[in-house]
A and B are shown apart, each in its own frame.
Chain A
Amino acid sequence: MAQTSITDEPLEKLMDINLNDLLRRYRSHPFKDYPIETPHTGMVSFKVKEGQVVKGPGGEWLHRPGTLLYIIEREGNTKRVTALWNGKVSGIRLDLEGRFVEAGELLLFIRHQLDKEEIIDRILTQVLYILPAPQRARYFLAPEISIKMEKRPEGSVSVESGDEVLIMSLMKRDTVISYKGVPGALYKVYFKSGAAVEQGSPLLGICPPDKLQYVQKVIQRIRTEWEK
């Protein structure tokens, strides 16, 4: 297995954000349009209409599925696809109703209003020390880090230069990625294990100990100022 290391922007950048500007920008357009595409081929049957309000998963452990969006049938098996976000249905492709569709076919959008925690997540990408994806590839947390994260609360797993943090699966080869940067707490994991991540997209957010207070201040301020 090959080895490589990644690093990113200088530490000074951590403080170099204008929180007021960021918040103003998000307030003027607090939405994210999520495209809903078919996960695979099959026959599609819609269960929502244009403009319908849908709900994402609910319950204490998000165990209640969201609103049923559509059913796709392939090889005699049906898959019920539910909304992963609260929002409103737009751009629905009713012309595909009852038809065989290919994988990745755009079916509709869900216009989702960002909530406080999502705003925090977005702003943190500009506050934390970010490790971006060096290539478009599939990423996994290194087994050691993954085990630690399962056992300890968020933000308490620390990393330092030389630690094996990620496995990049690219062109059918696995490459171990070692961390190279300021030591700190692994504050945020931005990818889903095994998912394809575009080059440059954030993978991990690291918070150096001396900046922890600042990061918490930013979070506190958003929590106080963001209405919803």
Chain B
Amino acid sequence: MSKERVLIANRGEIALRIIQACKDLGLDYVVLYTKEDEFSLHVRIAQQEENGFKRAYRIAGYNDPNEIFSVADEAECTAIHPGYGFFSENFGFARRAAMRTRPLTFIGPRWEVIRDLGSKINTKRLAKNLNVPVIPGSDESIYNELEAEEVAEELFFLQKEQGIQHPSILVKASAGGGGMGIEEVSHLDAFRRIYRRIQNYAKRQFGDEGVLIEQCLRDYQHLEVQLLCSSHGEVVHFGTRNCTIQSAGRQKRVEVAPGFDPAVCEYTFDARAVLDRIVEYSVRLAKHVGYDNIGTWEWIVSRDGSPYLMEVNTRIQVENETSACISRLNGSNEPPSLIRDQIRVAFGDKLGFTQKNISFEGTSIELRIVAEDTKRGFAPWCGTITRFDYPDEPWARLYSHVPRDTPYKIPTEYDPNFALAIIWGQDTKQAKERAKQFQNRTIIEGKGANDESIITNLEYLYNRIDDVLQF
């Protein structure tokens, strides 16, 4: 691979993981940051490694594509890595990168693939055509309130017909992702108010007020399938993971790989067969669209073991490393770096391995450490982190943009997520024990604007570790 220069168009811990992947591959990199993020670790590291070549550029906002392309040209970058940020699933952005006068390699799937799978609605249509099961609901963006109400009414009616005692539906921003812009409606009377609110939110946050309405399934597990594909038609998977433990706002908090473990939990269905099925369905869809980069297929599995495809995330994810952590390539002890592979395939490399070279070992648990008050609806906490210590263990990795040697004010512009801890164990029991041990030995101190102590979700995470993998 020739010397490429990658513009990292995202913030937080993912920017640090991408920096590391670029360095591992011998690539140059440049980072972006906003005024609010100037004390983030990704900026500091980039500035420390400048050596006469500017690596960190301050921009007006991560959501402004002109800012990103402007810096890409100024810094003579040849590629853009969108991380899991705003543009990672925006086919217009990927197309612009590829087709502008000075083209840039978009590190992600081809823009046509993002167009086909980046929208929840298109994905549902494609899946239906391939006999892949999907959640009942609208299969096109709704912009009209009366039409929306009609769909909602129908979904309530169908649930009543099925004998569901407390029917409800979900109103989702169709351009949304990562659990943002989703609200539940449990009575038709409340529908219009919530529909308008989501529409308003979607317009402000994503620039598209289209809304998707789905039946709200209860008593389910949220599973994911991690795929890696190349432009040479290769498709491999790195197994499944379980992301059921989420905040009130549907933000994932604890993730586990693999997706089910019949050795420690009882299921009313053949759990291994269900995992195999969702992998097979995911691969089927990936092959159909000619998927050519990293991606996650998100699934709902009901208590009776019925899987429903929810959406496809055409990007690297926060939790991808949970799957990497239990994967072994050619029997190596080291987990693969999926970001490194993602970058390689974006530049046209072949994978260099097949499914046969991938094996799985143990269980991994990811804990998302967030400054939030889990007892008050997961309300974000604002303030300054003054101390952040965690155990250094061979079985644990922690990714964070929070510096450990200086106080860090959490920017109010972004999510209050500030660290990811990934713990590995030889089996689920050991992984859980280690996750608890890790949590117990993690120290976070900080002060808010009124001198109040920092509030984090550490205790919540500890209490939820035992709930993983089971209904």
A171 CB-CB contact with B under 8 Å: yes
Q: B-facing mask of A130-142, CB < 8 A → 1, else 0?
A: 0000011100000
A135 to B450, CA, bound (A): 11
Segment from A35-43, A47-55, A178-186 that makes contact with B = A35-43
A77 to B414, CA, bound (A): 28
Segment from A10-18, A25-33, A97-105 that makes contact with B = A97-105
- Contacting pair A41 B71 (CB below 8 A): yes
Q: A-facing mask of B120-133, CB < 8 A → 1, else 0?
A: 00000000000000
- Contacting pair A171 B412 (CB below 8 A): yes
Within the complex, which residue of A1, A39, A136, A171 is in contact with B380, where a contact is CB–CB below 8 Å?
Answer: A171
- Contacting pair B59 A171 (CB below 8 A): no
A174 to B59, CA, bound (A): 24
- Contacting pair A41 B415 (CB below 8 A): no
Residues in A with CB closer than 8 Å to B204 are 169, 194
A22 CB-CB contact with B under 8 Å: no
- Using known A-B contacts A41-B70, A103-B58, A103-B60, determine if residue A170 contacts B377 with beta carbons closer than 8 Å: no
Q: B-facing mask of A98-137, CB < 8 A → 1, else 0?
A: 0010111000000000000000000000000000000111
- Contacting pair A41 B180 (CB below 8 A): no
- Contacting pair A172 B415 (CB below 8 A): yes
- Contacting pair B197 A40 (CB below 8 A): no
The number of chain B residues with a CB under 8 A from chain A is: 32
Residues in B with CB closer than 8 Å to A173 are 249, 379-380
CB distance from A112 to the nearest CB of B (A): 23
Q: A-facing mask of B46-73, CB < 8 A → 1, else 0?
A: 0000000000011110001011011101
- Using known A-B contacts A41-B74, A103-B60, determine if residue A172 contacts B414 with beta carbons closer than 8 Å: yes
- Contacting pair B412 A170 (CB below 8 A): yes
B449 CB-CB contact with A under 8 Å: yes
B201 CB-CB contact with A under 8 Å: yes
B382 CB-CB contact with A under 8 Å: yes
Q: A-facing mask of B71-89, CB < 8 A → 1, else 0?
A: 1011000000000000000
- Contacting pair B382 A41 (CB below 8 A): no
The number of chain A residues with a CB under 8 A from chain B is: 27
Within the complex, which residue of B58, B71, B382 is in contact with A136, where a contact is CB–CB below 8 Å?
Answer: B382
- Using known A-B contacts A103-B60, A136-B412, determine if residue A75 contacts B197 with beta carbons closer than 8 Å: no
- Contacting pair B66 A199 (CB below 8 A): no
Residues in B with CB closer than 8 Å to A42 are 70
B375 CB-CB contact with A under 8 Å: no
Residues in A with CB closer than 8 Å to B415 are 171-172
- Contacting pair B64 A40 (CB below 8 A): yes
Residues in A with CB closer than 8 Å to B58 are 41, 102-104
CB distance from B155 to the nearest CB of A (A): 22
CB distance from A4 to the nearest CB of B (A): 8
A196 CB-CB contact with B under 8 Å: yes
A41 to B74, CA, bound (A): 10
Closest Cβ neighbor of A199 among chain B residues = B449
- Contacting pair A196 B413 (CB below 8 A): yes
Closest Cβ neighbor of A137 among chain B residues = B412
Q: B-facing mask of A170-213, CB < 8 A → 1, else 0?
A: 11111100000000000000000010100100000000000000
Closest Cβ neighbor of A200 among chain B residues = B449
Closest Cβ neighbor of A138 among chain B residues = B413
- Contacting pair B66 A171 (CB below 8 A): no
Residues in A with CB closer than 8 Å to B166 are none
26 A/B residue pairs, CB under 8 Å, sorted by A: A1-B183, A39-B60, A40-B67, A41-B57, A41-B58, A41-B59, A41-B67, A42-B70, A74-B66, A74-B67, A75-B70, A102-B58, A103-B34, A103-B60, A103-B67, A135-B382, A135-B449, A170-B380, A170-B412, A171-B382, A171-B412, A171-B415, A172-B205, A172-B414, A194-B204, A196-B413
The 7 lowest CB-CB distance pairs between A and B, nearest first, are A103-B60, A102-B58, A171-B380, A40-B60, A74-B70, A41-B70, A75-B66
**Contact surface of A with B, Cβ cutoff 8 Å:** 1-2, 39-42, 74-75, 77, 100, 102-104, 135-137, 143, 169-175, 194, 196, 199
A41-B57, A171-B414, A171-B416 given. 14 additional CB < 8 A pairs? A40-B60, A40-B64, A40-B66, A40-B67, A41-B67, A75-B69, A75-B73, A103-B35, A135-B412, A169-B204, A170-B382, A171-B415, A173-B249, A173-B379
